[in-house]
Structure 1
Amino acid sequence: MRTIYLDMCCFNRPYDDQTQTRIRLETQAKLELQDHVKAGSCHLLWSAALDYECSRNPYPDNQLAITQWRWLAKKIIEAGPEVVALAKPMLENGIKSYDALHVASAIAGGADFFVTTDDRLLKNLRRQGMHNAYLPTDALAILENWYEN
């Protein structure tokens, strides 16, 4: 069974201004990915980095809605020595600290998909050779085998 890790910008996508087509499409794809988690067709990873970032959300309703996904996660990745060691080279290559912790948590948890809406992060990860980092739409396309015909 495939495992996905959604970073905090991905979890927050439904709360962004939905007037832009891209944001609406990414929101819908993220919600579809979560439907796959609820249906049991893929597993969700959660992390201490998500806990911390979510706790700093200034909107209590959004914070509560996002935190509910923690309870559906098959595995929660703590920010231990392994995660810190995985994050360090990313920091040295220009990835921001929280982003590096999210990516390191996904790697430590064995995620098949690291899903983000952050173009800059995605570009940096691909430049560093991480080929399982995706926008929500691309992750959904792969998970649902859209292009297998």
Structure 2
Amino acid sequence: MRIYLDLCCFNRPYDDQTQTRIRLETEAKIVLQQKVRAGECDLVWSSVLDFENAKSPFAEHREAISAWRKLAAHFILMDDDVLGLAHGLLAGGIGEYDALHVASAIKAGAVVFVTTDDRLLSKLRGRHEIRAMPPGDALAFLEKWYEN
């Protein structure tokens, strides 16, 4: 199964871990990454992740996140297909970077788009092109996927 983690998901470990929700999402994200390393799911990476991550003012965060690019099974360049998909998402009220991330995931055939952005999750609810989930739900979905 292909999964796409957006940048807010990759950055979750750098958020305030004293908040229970953030800590649980961080733990679930780490387990998802362990499953990528174990070959239990395929990570999708995109040029959008590269571009957005490069803008981070924190070199240590940038480097740690960029290291996951090497473990990705699929790499999606921003091209006319991605831009076309993103344009449709923008029309639905999704922000520019978010639309590009989602479009990249759709183009790659990702089954799950993982994000910690509640607003984005709300806007993607009910879409048929991809399942958008927070890390904990994505982990439960992945584990159920392999049970069946």
Same fold per TM (> 0.5)?
yes
Asked if 1:10 is matched to 2:20, the reply is no
Q: How does 1:77-116 map to 2 (within 5 A)?
A: 77-116=76-115
Paired position in structure 1 for 2:63: 64
* SS of equivalent to 2:125: helix
Q: CA deviation at 1:4?
A: 0.4
Q: Runs of 4 or more off by more than 6 Å in structure 1?
A: none
Q: What amino acid sits opposite 2:2 in the alignment? A: T
Task: State the identity as a percent.
Answer: 58
CA RMSD of aligned residues (A): 1.5
Q: What amino acid sits opposite 1:134 in the alignment? A: M
Does the 8 Å CA contact 2:3/2:44 hold for their aligned counterparts? yes
Asked if 1:19 is matched to 2:18, the reply is yes
Q: What is the CA deviation profile of residues 45-94 of structure 1, one whole-angstrom value per residue up to 9, with x for unaligned ones? A: 00011000110111000100000000000111000000000000111111
Paired position in structure 2 for 1:121: 120
Q: CA deviation at 1:145?
A: 1.9
User: Aligned partners of 2:97 and 2:130: how far apart in 1?
Assistant: 20
Paired position in structure 1 for 2:37: 38
User: Aligned partners of 2:113 and 2:36: how far apart in 1?
Assistant: 14
* SS of equivalent to 2:144: coil
Task: Name stretches of at least 5 consecutive residues in structure 1 with no aligned partner.
Answer: none
Q: CA deviation at 1:36?
A: 0.1
Paired position in structure 2 for 1:53: 52
Give the number of aligned pairs.
147
User: Aligned partners of 1:129 and 1:16: how far apart in 2?
Assistant: 31
Q: What amino acid sits opposite 1:63 in the alignment? A: R
Paired position in structure 2 for 1:74: 73
Q: What amino acid sits opposite 1:24 in the alignment? A: R
Q: TM-score, normalised by structure 1?
A: 0.94
* SS of equivalent to 1:44: strand
